[in-house]
Structure 1
Amino acid sequence: MKDLIILWLSGGNDAWWSVLVAMGNPWQVLDLGAVLALIVVGMQIAVATCLPDRLWADDGTNAFFSQLSYLHIFLLMALTALAEEIFFRAAIQSLLVEWLHSVAAGIAVPAAIFAVAQRARPASCASASRAAPATASSWG
């Protein structure tokens, strides 16, 4: 952890993941990932409990998820994350590294595709948002 902070503060020339590899012990990397995940989950819980109801955009998704049990929601999230990792990391990334002969390009291209895929919205969502736009005056 100390090495990561030093590298970040110094603006080091090494790639950030080289520090993770240099740690040597995969459990240290796993611990770091677990701590960061807990921070993100904590922030999400704080936002979910502190954000006023008038700021939540409900497009009907909440009604669907309210019918599911916590186990179903967890499995849905876990399987989605697993499928994304297998597709973007295992398939696209490894093929592009091999095809382009560049680790940096093999990482950057799938990251860009992933970012675009996360921002894409189905046509039904886009048309629903056009039909009833959320404006500041409708927030109360």
Structure 2
Amino acid sequence: MSNSSKAKGTAWESAVVAYLREHHNPTAHRNVQMGRLDIGDIAGYYLHALEAKAEKEITLSTYIAQANKEAGHAGQPFGCAVVKRRMKGAADGYVVRDLCTDVRLMNRLRDMEEALQAVAPAAYALIDKQHREAA
């Protein structure tokens, strides 16, 4: 990898971390690379090991395989890749995961929402309203 490619990758990782810190988790950070036991590029994306990719040629299958493997190393249930969209910033990046991972995530979300609705319907209604308004 050339220094130019490495610099672009580092800049993308930093942009993703800055976005996550502002909109999701103020403790998000870049991980130190750990070789074969790598835990993903970025920590602090809830329940995920995150791979940040800023490459001219996009190879989704490679990114997803890497993210899923590194999720296991990180002790996270889900892996995903945040792929840079050309000429766009972090907010416009693509979050990519395989369907199997997405179904597991949606099942968890459904189960947790049903549980919250059953034990605290007023809290559920408030949270649901906040997220619908934010969309």
Question: TM bucket by the smaller chain?
Answer: 0.3 to 0.5
Which structure shows the bigger proportion of residues in helix conformation?
Answer: 1
